Structure 1
Amino acid sequence: MLFSMPVDVAPLLLIVAAAAVILGTVLQRVSGMGVGLVVAPTLALLLGPVAGVLLTNLTTTVSAVLIGITLRHDIDWQRYVRLAPLIVVGSVPGALLVGAADRSWLEVIIGTALIGTLLMTALVRIPPVSGAVPAAMAGTAGGFLNTAVGVAAPAMLVYAQATNWQQRSFAATLQPIFFTMGLTSVITKVGLGAAPISGLPPLPVIGLVVAMVPIGLLVGGLVARRVTAEAGRKVAVVVVTAGALLLLARGVGGMAGVF
């Protein structure tokens, strides 16, 4: 089975994982988000929902640091301060969910959450809001989603649409937000025993996956000159929808005893 690779990882699966990280990093450099969207369903399919999302959290943390350095002049630190404190609040129930649910249920939850949040951002008209309460709700929802399913971008996108957040500032400020979410998710899940480090693939595999981030960043810098942020988001949505549907199908199949 693809999700059980504790020691030996097939070269083809490594190539798929590396390609997903590069694509996700390129999209994140172009539009501000993409690593979690692309990498989470891919690694969950390859490594299982617990180890896959945990490795996604690690990858997101690294990518956010590197991209954040590149976009540092456009970061809105006041918005970051409003969003960041509630990330921990949302992360704890996300970690408890990961620790309580079995593999098939987690795959169903991840697939459904990804598809549901993407549909919400695409189909639901978001009324304009402002103030501390929407920021607190976005931070809490983002922390929960990032810890449970490895993807917080849809929650941030809803908040950005509701507050009319300018794209340049939004893309830059997402990086310290994603860094905080990724680090918090790893600490919370490992600390609560929901996702033990021992469940990850060997260190060389982790190193290879994370090493794709700077490669994606270099490619993304070139692509960003020619591709709009909107086009980047559309590609991310297509990729994550395909991955989420596959993950959902496998989870349902596992619950039914097919896989």
Structure 2
Amino acid sequence: PRRATAVPAGVVGGFFNATAGVAAPAMVIYSRVTRWDQVRFVATMQPVFMGMGALSTASKLAAGVHFSLPVPAVVALAALVATVLAGIAVGTWLSHHLSKATAQKLAMGLAAAGGVVVVVRRALTLLAG
């Protein structure tokens, strides 16, 4: 049942988000296992990912993790807003041109690619280290 698996999926997604910056693989797998409708999944995940990002940042700051941005904060914020708006525009366009089955495959592929990129990046960091 969806309720029995929602909390573990959220915890795993939050852990992945806080440690590696990529929660999508856990959440996309959860959506496929529970047969979550693709349209509702996408609409629900936007605020969930925003919340996960905010909570990850807050928990890192509370734990004393220091970081610096490669650009001024206002530039980073503007880039974030532009990226979100571009994502909405592209997603809206794609929603009119892709079937639900294709959208699910695309979501799974992008989540897998994101997971692979994180693993490879971390492996290269360890090897260089």
Tell me the TM-score normalised to structure 2 length: 0.75
Paired AA for residue 209 in structure 1: A
Cα distance in 1 for residues equivalent to 2:17 and 2:115:
17
Paired AA for residue 251 in structure 1: T
Paired AA for residue 47 in structure 2: P
Q: Which residue of 1 aligns with 2:118?
A: 244
Paired AA for residue 207 in structure 1: L
Alpha carbons of structure 1 residues 234 and 157: separation in structure 2 relative to 1, 3 Å: closer
1:140 aligns with 2:11: yes
Per-residue deviation, 1:131: 5.6
Cα distance in 1 for residues equivalent to 2:111 and 2:8:
23
Q: Which residue of 2 aligns with 1:203?
A: 73
CA contact (8 A) 2:16 2:23 kept: yes
Alpha carbons of structure 1 residues 145 and 168: separation in structure 2 relative to 1, 3 Å: same
Paired AA for residue 68 in structure 2: G
Per-residue deviation, 1:206: 0.7
Unaligned regions of 5+ residues in structure 1, if any?
Answer: 1-129
Of structures 1 and 2, the one scoring higher in RCO (CA 8 A, sep 6+) is: 1
Alpha carbons of structure 1 residues 184 and 230: separation in structure 2 relative to 1, 3 Å: same
Aligned residues: 124
Cα distance in 2 for residues equivalent to 1:144 and 1:232:
23
Q: Note the 1:93-172 alignment, pairs <5 A.
A: 130=1, 132-172=3-43
Cα distance in 1 for residues equivalent to 2:33 and 2:86:
33
CA contact (8 A) 2:25 2:115 kept: no
After superposition, the C-alpha distances for 1:123-153 in whole angstroms (9 at most, x for unaligned) are xxxxxxx164322211211111111111112
Cα distance in 1 for residues equivalent to 2:112 and 2:5:
28
Paired AA for residue 91 in structure 2: G
Unaligned regions of 5+ residues in structure 2, if any?
Answer: none
Q: Which residue of 2 aligns with 1:79?
A: none
Per-residue deviation, 1:239: 4.4
Cα distance in 2 for residues equivalent to 1:234 and 1:166:
14
Per-residue deviation, 1:233: 2.2
Q: Note the 1:57-68 alignment, pairs <5 A.
A: none
Q: Which residue of 2 aligns with 1:94?
A: none
Q: What SS does structure 1 have at the residue aligned with 2:22?
A: coil
Q: Which residue of 1 aligns with 2:106?
A: 232
Paired AA for residue 142 in structure 1: G
